[in-house]
Structure formats: structure tokens, C-alpha cells
Amino acid sequence: MMSSHKNVLKLLGCCMEFVKPVIVCEYAGQGPLQLEDKDGTPLPWSARLKIGKEIADAVAYLHSAFPRVIINRDINPRNIFLDENGTAKLSSFCLSISIPEGESSVFDDKVFSGVSVDPAYNGTGLVSDKFDVYSFGVTMLFFLGGELALVWLSALIGEFGFPFPAYVEELADQFLYVIDSSIWNGESEASALQVEAFFGLALRCVRFPPGQEVLTMIDVAKELKGMEDLDSKQQSSQNLNAEAGSSQLPEPLITDVKKRKGKEIMY
């Protein structure tokens, strides 16, 4: 039933002609999500926003369309595919778990690692819809800054712990160092309001800063839909075009982010 959603990679069947059973899914013409094509051309901002909205719709569907809420637990850039028309498809449900009716969470003793995993989970073993919201927020940061954005988030958690202390809110401007420069060029210059709103929503998904109301994926999907309707002519990039040279993060943290650029990221 999950495959009935247009933004979920459809499961076609299972092939038993190999040593181990092989799951067969629909063909995704453009393959896995890439922020650059084979010629090095960056994915336009409009496409990034569209993909984000479509994946949010799929996750919101999992959280709301069934008697038992389904938590994917494996939302990350590597599990997003694009068909020949550029439509986003969420894949990989091997780690999914359902929450009993009438409950808001379920206990699971599996240990997960990776930047996309909600740090609060491994401390409690409780799985709720917050798990997917956090993972989706990490994916949103990836849309803005690629793998370096994930290094930035990991460095923040390593430096300050999780939940984040209240004062980390002052450090958000540091993300300017890792935003893909192509977002500010070409057609994307007219999307400053969208980029600003997208970044703010991503931070709220990963509960940065703490103390704010925790979003649901339905909330996230609605906000992303609203971003598409923002008047692109009302350019207001002053907030995001603040001087990136005025570092507010501790120098060792900045150095650590730069050193880790290009290293293998565990999603």
C-alpha cells in the first residue's frame, strides 16, 4: 500500500533466482539523487525545492494514511531516486517500524548510527514521528550544502552535544560557509526568500535551536508547499547574504569541518 503514493519507489516483486532474494522496484530513469550531473552542472534550486516537497509529501503520507503510523527510519539522500521526469521517489523501507494505534511511540532496542539518525533515539530507544522529521531535516541541509552540510551538523553535535544548548542559535549564520554557491547564481538569485525559509525549516526539523515546538511531517510538507508560492520578485537576501567571514563558531570547530570535507559520510 505504501507503493501507491506517487513519490514512493514502487515495489514490483521479489526475484528468487539469486543466492539471496532480491527486491525488484520500478525503474528510476535518472537514478539516485545527485546534486550535480555527470557534467558537473549543479541541480537547480527549483528542482531541489521540488524534490524536498515531494519527499515530505511521501513521508507525511506514511505518518497519516494508515491506522498505525509508519516510521521509515532511513530517510537520507542515498534513498531518494528520480524518475525520467525528475519526480522524486522515496525508497528503502527495510528499517520501517509501525507505532501501535493510540500510542505516540514504540520501543526498539536496535542501535543506529549515522548523521541522519535522531540523536535522541539511541538514548531512549523510543521511536516516534520525530525520528523521520529529524532525518528529513538532515536531508534538507544536504539539499543546501551537500555532504559538507552534514559534516557541519556532525561537528555541531560533537562540539555542543544534543539536545543543543540554547546559545547555539547564534551560530546558525555559520552555515553560510557550506551553502552551495550555485544556489545564489542564475535562476536561484530570485529564490532568496525560499532558500531562507528552507534553511529555517531544516533547522527546526533537527531541533536547532532547542525549545521550539516539534514539527510533524504534515507541518513540514505544508510549509514546503507554501515556499513554492513565495513571490520570487520579493528578493530579501540580506539575512542570508550577511558577511560569511564573521565567524561565530569556535575556530577549532571551523577547522574540523574543513578538514573533514570530502571524507566518507555515514548517513
Which residues participate in catalysis according to the annotation?
74
Nine-digit cell string for 232: 520570487
* DSSP E strand stretches across 29-185: 31-32, 69-71, 80-82, 88-90, 97-99, 106-107, 126-127
How many residues can be counted in the chain? 267
DSSP SS3 for 43: coil
Q: Count other Cβ atoms within 10 Å, centred on residue 229.
A: 8
Per DSSP, 98 falls in state E
Per DSSP, 169 falls in state G
Nine-digit cell string for 211: 525549545
Q: Which residue has the cell 517500524?
A: 97
CA distance 35 to 180: 10
Query: Which amino acid is residue 245, in one-letter code?
Result: G
Q: Which residue has the cell 501501535?
A: 100
CA distance 146 to 204: 18
